[in-house]
Amino acid sequence: MLCELTAHALHEKLKNREITAVALAESVYARIDEVESHVKGYLTLTKDLALEQADRADAGFQKGDEMPALAGIPIAIKDVICTKGVRTTCGSKILESFVPPYDATVMTKLYEQGVVMIGKTNMDEFAMGSSTENSAYQITHNPWNLDTIPGGSSGGSAAVVSADTAVCSLGSDTGGSIRQPAALCGVVGMKPTYGRVSRYGLVAFASSLDQIGPFTKDVTDCALLLNAICGSDAMDATSVDVPVPDWTQSLINDVQGLKIGVPKEYFTPALDPEIADSIQRATAVLEGLGATVEEISLPHTEYAIATYYIIAPAEASANLARYDGVRYGYRNENPENLINMYKKTRSEGFGEEVKRRIMLGTFALSAGYQDAYYKKAQKARTLIKSDFDAAFEKVDVIATPTSPTPAFKIGERTADPLQMYLSDVMTTPASHAGLPGISVPCGFVKSGLPVGLQLLGAPFAEEKVLRVAYTFEQNTEHHRRKPQIQTNGVVSS
C-alpha cells in the first residue's frame, strides 16, 4: 500500500508522476476505513479538505513545477494545534465545539509546503497524560497490541503513523509526549530544542516546556518535517532567532569519533530488564561503528519527575484559567450566578486528570507554599540543566532508554496517578533543560512490543542527534518492522 511508504519515497513517486497525490490520500483513507475503528487514533477527519489539497499538489506536479519535499504528503495533526476552520478540541469536553479562526504557525508553514491534512489526532486532555486514556472522547489503542496504550499525550499522532493511517504527523512534547509514544508505537519521534519551533497556535499546557515536533516512519522524514516547521516567529516571544540548517544534510551514516554518554542514573531497578538489554545492544552497535561510548553521571535526575509535577501543573493552573465559559468553549446552561457558572463550567468541562493538575498547580503557587514548592522546583530545574551542561562538555550525544517499560495494558495505571507519572521518568529531565531529543526504534521485548532509544543533544545541536539516529537506523532493521493489527479476527499488516 502507498500509505506504508515514507514521505521521501513517496516524493520521488509523485515527482516522477508514478502516482498522484489524490491516489495517495485515498490510499490513506482506505487504510483508515480498514483499521481506525480498532486503533481510534483520530478525533476529526478532514477528507474533503485533504482531497482539495491533494488536487492542488497534483496540479503542481503535472505542470512540472519544482515541488517541496512534503507536497502531497498526507499528515495528521495533534488536536492541540490550531487549524483554521477545523475543530480543535485538545481532547477536552470544554473545547468540544471550538473551531479556531486562525492557523498555528506550524500549520501555515506546512500548508506552504503543500501537505495534505488527513485529520486531527486523539490525545490526553490538554496534553496531560502518558497513555491517551485521559481523552474526553475515546481511548487510542497501540497498533502493536490493541490491548495496550500507545503512550501519551500524543498517543493518537504516534498510533496513526505506526498503523499507516498517516504518513507522518505532528505532536507536542511537554515532558515526553512525543518521545514516549514514539517509543511505545515503534516510530521515530523528535522534540526539537525549546524555541526552535513556534508555539503560536499551540494550545498551552506548560509554556516553558511545550514544544511541537514530528512523528515519522524514519529519520529522513523527521529531518524533512523539521525543515518545514523550524524557524523564529514574531508571534511567539519564546521563539529563538537562530539559523535553521537543512536538516537532511545531517543525515550522515558515520559516527566515527563521536562521544556518546550513557547516564548511570537511568539504569535503575525500575527499568525493565528487556529494555535495558535493548539499549545496551543499541549502544554496542554505535560503538562498533566507531563512536566512543562512556558512562556519565547526571546526579540530579532523581528530582526530575517531582520537579516536573510542580512546574508543569503550576503553569497549567495559569494557562487553563482562560476556560471560564465566557468567551468560547463549553458553558453550563443553568448557572445560579457568575461565580456558579465558572464553577459548574469548569467542573463539568474538565476531566479528572486536568482538574487534579490545576489543583496541584494552584496549591504550589498559593501564598505560603510558593517558596516551599514552586521556587524550590525552579532551583532543582536549574541543577538538572547544569548536569546536562557539564555532560555536554565531555560528550556529543547522550543515549538513554525512552521509556522505563514497554506499552502497558489499557486501564492498568489509571487508578494510580503516581505510577502513571513515572512513565515519563526518562523524558522529563531533557524537557527541563530544553534539549533536543529523538526516540528511534531499537528493538522489541519478548511480547513483541517495541523499544525506543532516546538520543539527546545540547541546545540547538539537532544535527548531532540526527546524525547518530540516522547512523543507528541505517545499520539496523528495527524501523522496518510493521505491526500486525487484528481486525475482526483477520490480521491487517
Q: What positions carry a catalytic annotation?
A: 78, 153, 177
**Do the Cβ atoms of 198 and 105 come closer than 8 Å?**
yes
Torsion of CA 182, 186, 188, 189, to 10 degrees: 0
Question: 66 is written with which cell numbers?
Answer: 519544482
3-state secondary structure of 202: strand
Among candidate residues 330, 336, 327, the one with its CA nearest the CA of residue 349:
330
Q: Which residues pair with 491 in a beta bridge?
A: 486
**Do the Cβ atoms of 73 and 110 come closer than 8 Å?**
no
Residue with cell 531529543: 437
**Do the Cβ atoms of 260 and 286 come closer than 8 Å?**
yes
Question: 349 is written with which cell numbers?
Answer: 468541562
Distances (CA, A) of 270 to 404, 405, 425, 455: 7, 9, 10, 20
Widest CA span in the chain? 70
What is the per-residue DSSP string for 347-364?
A: HHHS-HHHHHHHHHHHHH
Q: Which of left, alpha, beta for 65 (phi over 0: left; psi -120 to 50: alpha)?
A: beta
**Do the Cβ atoms of 83 and 103 come closer than 8 Å?**
yes
Q: Which amino acid is at 455?
A: L
**Do the Cβ atoms of 403 and 155 come closer than 8 Å?**
no
Distances (CA, A) of 223 to 98, 191, 425, 460, 472: 32, 12, 26, 14, 15
H/E element, 421: helix 417-421
3-state secondary structure of 93: helix
Pairing mode, strands 211-216 and 450-456: unpaired
Residue with cell 501543573: 313
Q: Which amino acid is at 199?
A: R
What's the rounded Cα separation, in Å, for the pair 355 and 237? 28
Question: 286 is written with which cell numbers?
Answer: 554505535
